[in-house]
Amino acid sequence: MVTPVVTAAAKANPTYKIVATGHSLGGAVAALLGAILRNDGNIVDIVREVLLCNYRTSTYNFKYTFGQPHVGNADINNYIQNQAPTQGNNYRATHTTDVVPQLPEYDWAPGWYHYYPEFWVDTDTVPVPANDITVVTGSLYETGGNEGDINYFTGIAAQSLYFGAISSCSSDPPTS
């Protein structure tokens, strides 16, 4: 089992930070693993995608995050969301119309949601300008970012761009 190994490593290295991260289905697994590690008394940042970007505001300071499908119903997402920030922060990044974070479709599984905040990259520009990242806050089903109408043709292509077109960001501060 992974949790005893991570907990032991954290105790042996108290200055290290635990980050659960993954891409696509791995992002959903990272969210659930992070919640379990938090239950074991660890401080864990849950990060869905690795977005190598120095995006900073007075509220958020991160250098990582990826696109995951819905992990479950309102109960699990509220549980993960309510663990933050005392047990670690949650970061969920999505890219334009990426179809995977929209699955299963809300109409197919009306009780399945995401936790927040969502860092929505709404560009294919390289490097990603900080002002093309929208921070979507809320709870459960929010359509201000990646959620909404699914377009399988553009959405499949957007899933592959996390490690390509948006794998680096501008170091320039936001203009807005």
Q: Which of 24, 75, 168, 171 is catalytic?
A: 24
Tell me which residue has tokens 């490593």: 9
Write down the domain spans for the chain.
2-159
pLDDT at 173 over 60: no
The tokens describing 109, both together, are 């599984």
The continuous run of DSSP H or E covering 135 comes out as: strand 133-136
Assess whether 24 carries a catalytic annotation: yes
Nearest to 118 by CA among 100, 103, 99, 140: 140
Asked if residue 111 lies in contact with residue 73, where contact means CB atoms within 8 angstroms, the answer is yes
pLDDT band at 134 (very low <50, low <70, confident <90, very high): confident
Q: Beta partners for 45?
A: 19
Nearest to 126 by CA among 154, 161, 100, 93: 161
What mean pLDDT do residues 13-35 have? 87
What mean pLDDT do residues 91-98 have? 84
- Report which of residues 159 and 94 the model is more confident about: 94
Q: 2-159 belongs to which homologous superfamily?
A: Alpha/Beta hydrolase fold, catalytic domain (3.40.50.1820)
Rg from Cα positions in the chain? 16
Mean pLDDT (the chain) is 77
State the SS3 of 155-175.
HHHHHCCCCCCCCCECCCCCC
| Percent of the residues in the chain that have a pLDDT greater than 70, as a whole number | 78
What mean pLDDT do residues 112-121 have? 86
pTM here? 0.77
What mean pLDDT do residues 91-107 have? 85
- Report which of residues 111 and 168 the model is more confident about: 111
Q: Which of 40, 98, 107, 122 is catalytic?
A: 98
Q: What is the model's pLDDT at position 100?
A: 87
pLDDT at 139 over 50: yes
Assess whether 58 carries a catalytic annotation: no
Name the amino acid, one letter, at 157.
A
Which phi and psi (to 5°) does residue 128 adopt?
Answer: -75, 120
pLDDT at 3 over 60: yes
